[in-house]
């Protein structure tokens, strides 16, 4: 590595004290004024989510001004067009290590050539969502809950995305689909008590567009529980602003399912977006996808879970990466996920232990997988092991 690269790395490491405890407030990423591409940006523009979306990095030439592209990344960029195109917000760009190709933010948002290899058992719709869709934009799998796919757009496109068959083909157009048929279906099915509005990312819609959907769902009396799935606290924290909060509060309670994969995604700006949501009464649950080379080490996952608790987000699920086409390079053996739970359960606060699940390929839904603590069971007697491997007998 040459001297310039070493200096760059040092500056970056000072800016991001990765994996050091209690540094959330100090961890900020690179100051955008120090970046060639953004050095003249007005702070008011930087904080404007529309500006962030308009100025996303979607081309190789722009990305090359931020990171030293590897051959693998150049290859991926050349081929990433159409479905799941490249889009990286300026905010995310400040978190990318310019010199380390293994940077977890780079790995998640910059395509690699490996993405274009399809392995056996991979599918375009591994969770069979299209099959279980009784109306446009609606997925109905479990008896009492549905998923409403509000938009195909996201602030940035995660290369491991399960819905890569549908997201990202119109990265600059976020027109909401009309949901009359979906709302009618929910209305006529009184068993549905839980609606998750997801996508794409529903927070890519304008407030009035999103409000139209929320209002429609809230008008259905048997819907008790409303959730919104979003990744903007990570990719576009500027979207969480007063106007959005004001609109959402009219329809409280709303739970937010957020998506964090690595401690590096949690920083000062993200924390303030999550604080704004929590302070205004929106409970946060975080989902994480297990990704090879990114968060597949127990110490990284433990740090992530702890930092999530620090920003008042309850770790909810760790997902085995779905067998979606072009994601083999992200998938780990299932044993890796089980071992992570083994290293969490009992070793840290119960609130920091999510459920590890595999989405049953072909539409089986979420199936919990984890270490086995029941060693044997006979009439009235259970032989159990604890987190340290000590054996105990429980008499019923
Ligand atoms: S934010 Fe969610 S839907 Fe959008 S690309 Fe990432 S994983 Fe897919």
Residues 176 and 218 in one domain: yes
Which tens digits make up the pLDDT trace of 192-213? 999 999 989 999 999 999 999 9
The answer to whether position 26 is within a domain reads yes
Tokens of 320: 């085995």
Percent with pLDDT over 70 in the chain = 90
Buried b (16+ CB within 10 A) or exposed e, 299-330: ebbbbbbbbbbebebebbbbbbbbbbbbbbbb
CATH number of the CATH domain containing 194: 3.20.20.70
Which tens digits make up the pLDDT trace of 13-55? 444 444 444 455 556 788 999 999 999 999 999 999 999 999 9
The answer to whether position 343 is within a domain reads yes
Tokens of 277: 């949501």
For tokens 């195909």, name the residue: 152
Residues 78 and 174 in one domain: no
Residues 63 and 209 in one domain: no
The answer to whether position 131 is within a domain reads no
367: pLDDT strictly greater than 70: yes
Residues 72 and 149 in one domain: no
Residues 163 and 232 in one domain: yes
Nearest CA to 329 out of 160, 211, 101 is that of 160
Residues 94 and 148 in one domain: no
Residues 248 and 339 in one domain: yes
85: pLDDT strictly greater than 90: no
Strand partners, 317: 287, 355
In the three-class reduction of DSSP (H, G, I as helix; E, B as strand; rest coil), residue 207 is classed as: helix
**What residue owns the CA closest to ligand 1's atom 8?**
161
Residues 322 and 179 in one domain: yes
Q: How many domains does the chain have?
A: 2
> Would you please indicate which residues are annotated as catalytic (active-site) residues?
141-142, 145, 154, 158, 161, 163, 322, 359, 366
Segments forming the whole domain that contains residue 94 = 3-108
Q: What global pTM score does this model have?
A: 0.91
Q: 161 CA to middle of ligand 1, Å?
A: 5
Residues 88 and 200 in one domain: no
The answer to whether position 358 is within a domain reads yes
The answer to whether position 390 is within a domain reads no
- The pLDDT of residue 29 is 81
Rounded Cα–Cα distance for residues 269 and 275 (Å): 10
The closest-lying atom of ligand 1 relative to the alpha carbon of residue 289 is 7
Residues 193 and 330 in one domain: yes
Q: 74 CA to middle of ligand 1, Å?
A: 22
């Amino acid at each position: 590595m040459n001297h310039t690269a070493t200096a760059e790395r040092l500056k970056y490491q000072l800016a991001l004290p990765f994996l050091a405890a209690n540094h959330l407030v100090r961890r900020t990423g690179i100051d955008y004024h120090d970046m060639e591409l953004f050095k003249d940006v007005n702070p008011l523009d930087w904080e404007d989510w529309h500006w962030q979306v308009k100025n996303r990095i979607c081309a190789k030439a722009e990305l090359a001004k931020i990171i030293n592209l590897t051959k693998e990344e150049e290859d991926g960029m050349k081929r990433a067009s159409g479905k799941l195109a490249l889009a990286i917000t300026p905010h995310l760009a400040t978190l990318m290590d310019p010199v380390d190709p293994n940077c977890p933010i780079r790995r998640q948002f910059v395509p690699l050539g490996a993405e274009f290899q399809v392995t056996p058992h991979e599918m375009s719709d591994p969770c069979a969502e299209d099959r279980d869709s009784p109306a446009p934009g609606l997925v109905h799998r479990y008896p009492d809950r549905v998923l409403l796919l509000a938009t195909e757009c996201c602030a940035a496109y995660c290369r491991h995305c399960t819905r890569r068959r549908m997201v990202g083909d119109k990265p600059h157009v976020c027109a909401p689909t009309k949901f009359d048929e979906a709302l009618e279906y929910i209305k006529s099915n009184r068993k549905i008590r839980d609606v998750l509005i997801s996508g794409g990312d529903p927070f890519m819609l304008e407030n009035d567009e999103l409000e139209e959907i929320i209002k429609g769902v809230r008008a259905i009396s048997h819907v008790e529980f409303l959730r919104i799935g979003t990744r903007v606290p990570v990719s576009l924290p500027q979207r969480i602003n007063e106007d959005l909060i004001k609109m959402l509060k009219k329809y409280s309670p709303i739970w937010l399912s957020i998506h964090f994969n690595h401690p590096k995604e949690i920083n000062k700006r993200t924390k303030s977006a999550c604080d704004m949501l929590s302070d205004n009464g929106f409970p946060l649950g975080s989902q994480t996808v297990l990704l090879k080379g990114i968060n597949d080490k127990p110490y990284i996952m433990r740090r992530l879970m702890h930092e999530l608790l620090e920003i008042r987000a309850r770790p909810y699920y760790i997902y085995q990466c779905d067998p979606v086409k072009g994601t083999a390079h992200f998938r780990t053996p299932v044993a890796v996920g089980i071992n992570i739970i083994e290293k969490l359960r009992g070793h840290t606060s119960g609130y920091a232990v999510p459920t590890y699940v595999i989405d049953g390929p072909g539409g089986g839904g979420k199936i919990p997988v984890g270490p086995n603590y029941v060693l044997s069971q006979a009439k009235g007697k259970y032989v159990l092991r604890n987190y340290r491997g000590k054996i105990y007998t429980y008499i019923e």
